[in-house]
């Protein structure tokens, strides 16, 4: 292998190493997908909120539920006040779930709903209409 070939091979290896190092140290693009899960640390995840709930409500127990709203509210202890937090991109509540949720609020409890699309009986009962309009200016 001649001197010229060694120089060309050395330059190719240096460029390849440079590309690899650049890819490794390059910041990852931000994931803007809406996940709303308590374990998700992306911008639309609820990791920070979930971990701060204990400091927001210092004298209350935090309970994570995976059942539907009706089952949770129908079986709950009504002797203590509670907050119910719903965060999702799409929330649909049928008549039974809506009735239980409104009864829950009527008993002195609070409900926080964060969504971009609320449909079903609750939206109809509260006369909520959500319109999404986008105006993109370049």
pLDDT block averages, 10 residues each, the chain of length 138? 83 91 89 88 91 89 86 84 90 92 92 90 90 76
84, β-bridge pairs: 111
Count of domains in the chain?
1
Establish if 11 belongs to a structural domain. no
pLDDT for residue 62: 86
The confidence score (pLDDT) of residue 101 equals 93
With CA atoms as reference, report the closest residue to 68 among 120, 2, 31.
Answer: 120
Q: Centre a 10 Å sphere on the Cβ of residue 23 and count the other Cβ atoms it contains.
A: 8
What per-residue confidence (pLDDT) applies to 111? Answer: 92
CB atoms within 10 A of CB 80: 9
At residue 96, the pLDDT reads: 93
Q: What pLDDT is stored for residue 113 in this prediction? A: 92
Is 88 a domain residue? yes
Cβ neighbours of 135 (radius 10 Å):
4
Which domain range does residue 67 map to? 47-125
* In-domain check, residue 130: no
pLDDT of residue 65: 86
The pLDDT value given to residue 97: 92
């Amino acid at each position: 292998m001649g001197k010229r070939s060694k120089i060309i091979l050395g330059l190719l290896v240096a460029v390849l190493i440079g590309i690899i190092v650049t890819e490794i140290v390059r910041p990852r693009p931000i994931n803007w997908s809406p996940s709303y899960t308590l374990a998700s640390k992306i911008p639309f995840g609820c990791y920070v909120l979930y971990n701060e709930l204990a400091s927001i409500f210092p004298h209350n127990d935090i309970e994570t539920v995976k059942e539907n709203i009706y089952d949770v509210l129908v079986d709950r202890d009504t002797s203590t006040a509670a907050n119910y937090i719903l965060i999702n991109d799409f929330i649909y509540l049928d008549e039974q779930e809506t009735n239980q949720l409104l009864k829950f609020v009527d008993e002195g409890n609070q409900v926080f709903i964060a969504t971009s699309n609320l449909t079903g009986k609750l939206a109809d009962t509260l006369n909520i209409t959500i319109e999404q309009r986008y105006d993109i200016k370049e």
